[in-house]
A and B are shown apart, each in its own frame.
Chain A
Amino acid sequence: MVDRDRQTATVQARHVTLGLSDDDVLRMYHTLALARALDERMWVLQRAGLVPFVISGQGHEGAQVGVMWATDRARDWLVPFYRSLAACLAKGMSARDLMLGLFARAEDPSSGGRQMPAHWAHPRLKILSTSSPVGTQYLHAVGIAYAAKLRKTGEVCVTSVGEGGTSQGDWHEAMNFAGIHKLPVVFMVENNRYAISVPQRLQMAVDDVAVRAAGYGFPGVVVDGSDVLACYEAGREAVRRARAGEGPTLIEAKVERLTAHSSEDRQEKYRPTADVEAARSRDPLVVFKHYLEQVGLLDERRYTEIHAQIRAEVDDATAYAERAPWPDPATVTRHVYYEG
């Protein structure tokens, strides 16, 4: 039998060894749990017919929060994709911001209700506007990183995509360009093994997307996306390299998609039930909660406290967004071109 104190000491060493304070990991947990709670609420709202569409980041939160925590969240850039909810929260978007996007309200900071939900943007937080075509954003991240290098701003740019998106030409073009110029960019692939219904084996002939980085002249690492601290560690090294002028890193986080692709999808048609159940056991929120319990940072009381706070935050955001005014139809022709 393992000595319980010794086991605690060993695991505790993990976040401390990584240079993270107790407060850091608790805030990370809060972000993860808030992302999850918001996401779950979005599905409830969709099922209740209050919003037409939801696309989810459930299962991806650990990878996103881990890597984002390794960045300078005020100074660095995020070029997100539609599952980047937790990354956007980590970057500073509020629960209200996210709910306003879901309800497509005028005040939605991402697009003022012009785009579908989950097409994030926030200029002040340096979150670049996202479109729907998969994979295009990698090139924008590369351009941002090029400008950062030329202007010597010291900024790093993080971008992310699913493994299906790595089949796109733009993905390869961006990797190539960033490798050539040793750009300060962190490329993430959040690999949940499905592109809607198409499994990974029909997207690529390799097990790990990360091996492709070698073909573009920089390191690729595989990391367990359910392990927030492992993602943080990979992110920290990638950000260090980027900041030091050593160039890009590809981080492939093996994550789980805990929901259907979107509210328009029924994954029973293509995904075995066992697979969905197995995914639950790799839920990053559960894994992180266990870790915090083991190291004595999370007990029943604390857990209840945090989750009560999150619930209040989600309730507030939902009520706020639902009441918020729609965009004025008179604004439909605005912002096609610069208006001064």
Chain B
Amino acid sequence: MPELRLLDAIRQAMYEEMKRDERVVVLGEDVGPKGGVFGATDGFWAEFGEARVLDTPLAESTIVGAAIGMAANGLIPIAEIQFSDFIFPATNQIVSEAARMRYRSNGAFGCPIVIRAPYGGGVEVHGGLYHSQSIEAFFAHVPGLKVVAPSVPYDAKGLLKAAIRDPDPVLYLEHKRLYRAVRGEVPEDDYVVPIGPAVVRRPGTTLSLFAYGQMLHEALAVAAEMAGEGIDVEVVDLQTLRPLDVETILASVRKTNKALIVYEDNRFLGFGAEVAAIIAEEAFDALDGPVMRVAGLDVPAVPYADPLAAAFMPSRAKIADAVRRLATY
């Protein structure tokens, strides 16, 4: 099986879906001849033509709003938001329109669109305040929208295919740091990874560590390190943030009796807050310690200078510290 980078897996998923179904179109800023600023649609324009690989005006509300109309009239649009930080001009179209279309029409109209958005920061990303944000909590809050944040190439490809074939709007978040940093085996044949299930990436008994995206890799690294100290960390990759796989989360907590959630977004009301609330509500009787969170600091977003960015992020040291505290609680 070929080893692919996360970016290549994403590109391959879209390429295969465009080949398979001519209703699939891609639209966004610079997705045409340039092939996207990260290269996710590299070569598509030459192969599928400018009508199906559409360079839009620099207008995010247009990208999502037009995609909604295209979907209503028989296309399957994949809308690329160049950086998730710039999705906010399209928020109204996503929240008030795409996510509510089905409910508000009593099931008559769906909205089968995919919105892809590179997100996330860290020292390696050098994105600063407006090229590093985590936006998942804003959108995971919205019923009617599905939110996916893959962490490894195999699932990235399968989840994106699932998103494209999904009859509902899916926000597909791609962590920028992972594009080129992670590799993994990706089959060349057609497969789909269902939206919804979380994946236990590493079984363990001492405590459960929940993460997604780039933080999943930090969590795995810390878990490996902790094994040497006799702390057996179970790492669960949430992978789909909405709908959330509550069963897998609770099963893991019931097994280890301790929960730590790691996420890169601001801590306050970040995605981990919901996970913590669910555990506290549903598995209180199983807990042998406080539900803990390690998250981004509550400053507006990841600052640019390396030392500041490092200070912002939930580093391995911060995670390891929390793991030790919880393990010995």
The chain A residues found within 8 Å of chain B, CB to CB, are 77, 79, 108-112, 114-115, 119, 121-123, 128-129, 131-133, 136, 138-151, 153, 155, 157, 169-170, 173-174, 176-177, 180, 334-339
User: B96 touching A177 by the CB < 8 A rule?
Assistant: no
User: Taking A143-B73, A148-B73, A150-B51 as contacts, is the C-beta distance between A334 and B61 under 8 angstroms?
Assistant: no
Contact with A along B89-106 (1 / 0, CB 8 A): 100110011001111111
Chain B residues with Cβ below 8 Å from A142 are 62, 65-66, 69
CB distance from B198 to the nearest CB of A (A): 18
**Closest chain B residue to A339, Cβ basis:** B107
Chain B residues with Cβ below 8 Å from A132 are 96
Chain A residues with Cβ below 8 Å from B97 are 131, 133, 136, 140
C-alpha gap A109/B107 in the complex (Å):
10
Chain B residues with Cβ below 8 Å from A334 are 107
C-alpha gap A153/B70 in the complex (Å):
13
**Closest chain B residue to A335, Cβ basis:** B107
Chain A residues with Cβ below 8 Å from B70 are 143-144, 146-147
Give 6 nearest A-B pairs by CB, closest first.
Answer: A143-B69, A139-B65, A112-B106, A147-B73, A338-B167, A335-B107
User: B106 touching A143 by the CB < 8 A rule?
Assistant: no
CB distance from B96 to the nearest CB of A (A): 5
Q: B108 contacts which of A129, A131, A136 (Cβ < 8 Å)?
A: A129
B144-163 CB contacts (< 8 Å) to partner A: 144, 146
Interface assignment of B248: CB less than 8 Å from any CB of chain A:
no
User: Taking A150-B25, A176-B57 as contacts, is the C-beta distance between A337 and B102 under 8 angstroms?
Assistant: yes
User: A170 touching B65 by the CB < 8 A rule?
Assistant: yes
Contact with A along B154-197 (1 / 0, CB 8 A): 00000000000011100000000000000000000000000000
**Closest chain A residue to B71, Cβ basis:** A143
Chain B residues with Cβ below 8 Å from A136 are 65, 92-93, 96-97
Interface assignment of B125: CB less than 8 Å from any CB of chain A:
no
C-alpha gap A136/B52 in the complex (Å):
23
User: A174 touching B105 by the CB < 8 A rule?
Assistant: no
C-alpha gap A129/B72 in the complex (Å):
10
C-alpha gap A169/B90 in the complex (Å):
11
Interface assignment of B260: CB less than 8 Å from any CB of chain A:
no
CB distance from B23 to the nearest CB of A (A): 8
User: A173 touching B144 by the CB < 8 A rule?
Assistant: no
User: A147 touching B102 by the CB < 8 A rule?
Assistant: no
Instruction: Output the residue of B65, B97, B109 with the most chain A CB within 10 A.
Output: B65
C-alpha gap A114/B100 in the complex (Å):
11
Q: A336 contacts which of B72, B108, B143 (Cβ < 8 Å)?
A: B143
C-alpha gap A216/B20 in the complex (Å):
36
C-alpha gap A177/B96 in the complex (Å):
21
B13-55 CB contacts (< 8 Å) to partner A: 25, 51-52
CB distance from B94 to the nearest CB of A (A): 11
C-alpha gap A133/B98 in the complex (Å):
13
**Closest chain A residue to B60, Cβ basis:** A173
C-alpha gap A174/B109 in the complex (Å):
21
6 sampled A-B residue pairs with Cβ under 8 A: A110-B106, A111-B104, A119-B104, A141-B69, A157-B69, A174-B62
C-alpha gap A131/B104 in the complex (Å):
8
C-alpha gap A174/B168 in the complex (Å):
23
Chain A residues with Cβ below 8 Å from B220 are none
Chain B residues with Cβ below 8 Å from A77 are 73
Chain B residues with Cβ below 8 Å from A123 are 105, 108-109
Interface assignment of B67: CB less than 8 Å from any CB of chain A:
yes
User: A177 touching B62 by the CB < 8 A rule?
Assistant: yes
Instruction: Output the residue of B70, B75, B96 with the most chain A CB within 10 A.
Output: B70
User: A146 touching B104 by the CB < 8 A rule?
Assistant: no
C-alpha gap A55/B15 in the complex (Å):
47
Q: A174 contacts which of B65, B71, B73 (Cβ < 8 Å)?
A: B65
CB distance from A324 to the nearest CB of B (A): 14
User: A133 touching B107 by the CB < 8 A rule?
Assistant: no
C-alpha gap A141/B68 in the complex (Å):
9
User: A169 touching B66 by the CB < 8 A rule?
Assistant: no
User: A129 touching B105 by the CB < 8 A rule?
Assistant: yes
User: A121 touching B105 by the CB < 8 A rule?
Assistant: yes
User: B67 touching A143 by the CB < 8 A rule?
Assistant: yes
User: A143 touching B102 by the CB < 8 A rule?
Assistant: no
C-alpha gap A133/B100 in the complex (Å):
12
* Contacts A139-B61, A140-B72 supplied; 13 other A-B pairs, CB < 8 Å: A111-B104, A112-B106, A114-B103, A123-B105, A123-B108, A129-B101, A129-B104, A139-B65, A150-B75, A176-B59, A177-B66, A334-B107, A338-B166
User: Taking A146-B69, A147-B75 as contacts, is the C-beta distance between A121 and B109 under 8 angstroms?
Assistant: yes
User: A110 touching B105 by the CB < 8 A rule?
Assistant: yes
**Closest chain B residue to A108, Cβ basis:** B106
Q: B103 contacts which of A122, A144, A335 (Cβ < 8 Å)?
A: A335
